[in-house]
Amino acid sequence: MKNIFLIIGFVSFFQIAMGQIPESIFQYRCFTDIQDSSQIAKLDNSLALYKACIPYECDVVKTIPINWIFLQKDNGEGGFQEDNQDHQRYWDEIERRIEYRFANLKETSDAACFAWKDPFLSDTKIRFSFNRIYIRDSYAWDRNNYTGRPTSLGYMTYLIEEIENDPAIPRGINVFFTADGYWYDFYADAVEEGRIVSFDSTGNFGVSFEKSIHMADVYTKYLWMRYMLPTVYNESWEETIVNWWTGSLAILISHELAHALGLFHECAHYDEGECEASLMNPVGDGGHDYLPPSEVGKMHYRTMSSKFLTSIIPQNTGKFPTLILDEEYHEIGRRIYSDVVVASGGRVMLLGEEITVAPNTSITVEGFLHLGMSTLRTPGRSAAWKGIRVKAGGVIALDRMDSIDFDIILEPGSYLLLQGKISFLDGHKMIVENNVQVCTHKNLDIQGRPICRMGDVSFGMPADFEPYQYISCTESTQSVFYSASSLIPDVLYVQNQQIGTNQTLVAEKIIVGSNVTSSKPSGQVTIEGGAHVNFISLDGTRFEKGFRCENGSTFTVTEMEE
């Protein structure tokens, strides 16, 4: 794990709407730390940005995978069990309560909870997809194996790496449930022997890291409450105490999840502990079910970071675009849940990736985007996304892109680099407007029937594009683009061409040579030695004067099937 990013240890005494819970039962501590967080929160100059990210009532939600990592001893003991129906039922309830809290914030009249009042928003528009993962590992299970700070997960780095590299485990926030081996054995023995003992709350804590949460002794606390408290308080586990346990644990985990999403115990509206109703309140009474709208916006801003983009499950377009301002390389699949802008100076390489794109989103390229052997798809049966638009000064490189099922539009002043097999599926197009600079490698093979409208373009790359030479332009050739507005061009005019590579040209009708139309410049078409061209048309191919086939080159004319 990289950095622990929030501060302050605390003891919180949570109360549930089910009724007053004895304070001695619930003593949880949050060890989520950072230096001088109160000063960071007070001097935070990003409040306007957070406020800008507050979702609208009509906005769709963002769903973040949460992986419950239930650690057990090597023999399977010491933690929640996959085959225990009661355990599964309890976690169903905890998950329900967490989801409900993020969807149903409560407004407060406490003046200490806000310095100014934005329109209240009850729904954070953040949800979670929960995955239960059971791992037998006695060393990771017993947090006493780490001799430093008791909250750290540093002693199980090997396990964290295995989880992050396991394709069966979604990328998301990992919540690790560990135990103090000594105290677990003590309470497990007491349960087996029917003894009633008090609970040592000093070991029961939660701590939120950048993308991980450490929850200690939750199963040990469960044993104590499940098997001892009914006798101590003369209350039924199923009727009362289980609600105390699931309710308080859901609040604590919700608190830690909000930490992971960027929230502190304090914010620009209140200091630590001042707003009793706040979900981030670490002490005292209160419902722990309120957040200022700007804090909700802060969580959404947090999800826009590149570290969270791999975790978000897209359902629709986010309110604000994701900005990529500098160089980003991606070697793993990722999810895009909002419009993406590759700003001037930004460089993105997506090579060999499966990329999930939310419906109705788009990618705008002002910098450099390199797509190689990748697929970009909307999830399931969702509506299509809006494709890629390359602005003036922007560069897009397509390198062996098979089965493209989106549109690409290059505006005047943009740059297009093509290499290898570029295949468009039916109905999808590439539009190249005037004053576009094009570089096509000699092994280019455009397949499918895209609507390619070529304006006045030039070929090759200028010298100052050396940093972008992922596709070599030193062996480039001029490619042929369609000039039509239907799926299969009505007429394909081929002129002013030196064809030095094998190509297949498809249209309803093909006209080759000089003077092909009075509205286009005329010029000779030459098939260079060794090259082969296949002309495929429905209504015939006409060769006018100016067509020349050099020695060693060939061409075929094929009738298109209806």
Q: Which CATH class is domain 29-53+60-299?
A: alpha beta
Mean pLDDT, the chain, integer: 77
* One-letter identity of residue 47: L
Lowest-confidence region among 41-50, 173-182, 349-358? 41-50
Lowest-confidence region among 163-177, 327-341, 404-418? 327-341
The predicted model gives 97-125 an average pLDDT of 89
Lowest-confidence region among 222-231, 398-407, 512-521? 512-521
pLDDT for residue 379: 63
pLDDT above 70 (res 270) = yes
Contact 205, 29 (CB under 8 A): yes
Strand boundaries in 304-394, DSSP class E: 322-324, 327-330, 334-336, 340-342, 347-351, 354-357, 363-365, 368-372, 375-377, 388-390
- For residue 537, the SS3 value is strand
pTM of the model: 0.59
| Helical H segments across 15-123, by residue range | 37-42, 47-52, 85-103
Residues 6+ apart with CB under 8 A from 340: 321, 322, 324, 361, 362, 363, 364
Helix or strand run (H / E) with residue 491: strand 491-494
Compute how many other C-beta atoms are within 10 angstroms of the C-beta atom of residue 482: 25
The predicted model gives 326-335 an average pLDDT of 55
pLDDT for residue 251: 92
Which part of the chain has CATH 3.40.390?
29-53+60-299
Residue 484: pLDDT band (50, 70, 90) is very low
The strands making up 458-459's β-sheet, listed across from edge to edge, are 327-330, 347-351, 368-372, 395-399, 415-419, 437-440, 458-459
Identify the DSSP state of 388. E
Residue 237: pLDDT band (50, 70, 90) is very high
The predicted model gives 293-299 an average pLDDT of 90
Contact 490, 510 (CB under 8 A): no
Residue 426: pLDDT band (50, 70, 90) is confident
Per DSSP, what are the bridge partners of residue 126? 62
The predicted model gives 500-525 an average pLDDT of 74
pLDDT above 70 (res 383) = no
Phi-psi region of 227 (alpha: psi -120 to 50; beta: other; left: phi over 0): alpha
The dihedral built from the CA positions of residue 283, 285, 288 and 294, taken in this order, carries a sign that is: negative
Helical axes 181-193 vs 218-227, angle rounded to 10°: 20
Helix or strand run (H / E) with residue 57: none
Better-scored residue on pLDDT, 230 or 47: 230
- For residue 181, the SS3 value is helix
pLDDT above 90 (res 13) = no
Q: What percent of the chain stands above pLDDT 70?
A: 72
Better-scored residue on pLDDT, 63 or 3: 63
Better-scored residue on pLDDT, 486 or 439: 439
Q: What percent of the chain stands above pLDDT 90?
A: 29
CA neighbor of 546 nearest in space, from 471, 496, 475, 487:
496
The predicted model gives 171-192 an average pLDDT of 93
pLDDT for residue 208: 79
pLDDT above 70 (res 380) = no
pLDDT for residue 326: 63
The predicted model gives 94-119 an average pLDDT of 89
- Do the bridges between strand 212-216 and strand 205-208 make them parallel or antiparallel, or are there none, so unpaired? antiparallel
Lowest-confidence region among 210-219, 278-287, 463-472, 477-486? 477-486
Residues 6+ apart with CB under 8 A from 140: 71, 155, 156, 159, 176, 178
Q: pLDDT by residue (tens digit) across 433-459?
A: 777 777 766 667 777 655 455 555 555
pLDDT above 80 (res 158) = yes
CA 280 from chain center: how many Å? Answer: 25
pLDDT above 70 (res 263) = yes
Most confident of 128-142, 154-168, 255-269: 128-142
Compute how many other C-beta atoms are within 10 angstroms of the C-beta atom of residue 282: 20
